[in-house]
Structures are given as structure tokens and as C-alpha cells.
């Protein structure tokens, strides 16, 4: 069960540019994963956790609101490690 989250240094460096409500939702997701495990949190419909395609194959995204996404990938399932790679506005 994946319960460990690591936020990439590049994400930490740029989080101050992200709206406060988006940061709060991201850290709510992180806390939920650390408490309940990734598989359980994926079942929460509000996050719309989904695998990505194309150049982002192997990554997943969660919705933080209509515009903002957090992109993450599972590095090594055995050591229960998730890396959040980006928090970015989504283009429509």
C-alpha cells in the first residue's frame, strides 16, 4: 500500500505561485494518501485520479479544481514512494 509522498524540489520551489486554495487541496490529498493509502484515495471521485497518455504515459494526474492538476508518478511500488512532479494549470 503506497503511503509515502515526496514532493519534487522544483514543485516546492514554485508552490508559492499556486493559489492558496489549490495548495490546500494538494496537501489535503497528500495527507489522505499518507493516512489511508493511494488506492483508497483514488476512489474519491473529486480528485478524478487518472493515468495520462502520450508523452506523459506512466504519470497520473489528480484534479485540484477545474483548472489545476497535480501530476505524479509512482517510482518504486515496493518502497511505497509517490513523487508529485508538477502542479500546473490545465489548458482547455
- List pLDDT tens digits, range 39-89: 999 999 999 999 999 998 999 999 999 889 999 998 876 555 677 878 888
**Which cell goes with 92?**
482547455
The domain that contains 66 carries what CATH number? Answer: 3.30.2310.20
Domain count within the chain: 1
pLDDT at 82: 73
Length of the chain counted residue by residue: 92
- pTM reported for the whole predicted model: 0.86
SS3 42: coil
* Domain carrying residue 59: 4-89
Amino acid at each position: 500500500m503506497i503511503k509515502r509522498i515526496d514532493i519534487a524540489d522544483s514543485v516546492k520551489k514554485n508552490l508559492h505561485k499556486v493559489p492558496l486554495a489549490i495548495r490546500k487541496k494538494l496537501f489535503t490529498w497528500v495527507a489522505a494518501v499518507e493516512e489511508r493509502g493511494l488506492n483508497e484515495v483514488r476512489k474519491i471521485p473529486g480528485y478524478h485520479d487518472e493515468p495520462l497518455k502520450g508523452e506523459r504515459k506512466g504519470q497520473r494526474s489528480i484534479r485540484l479544481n477545474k483548472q489545476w492538476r497535480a501530476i505524479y508518478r509512482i517510482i518504486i511500488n515496493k518502497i511505497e514512494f509517490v513523487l508529485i512532479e508538477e502542479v500546473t494549470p490545465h489548458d482547455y
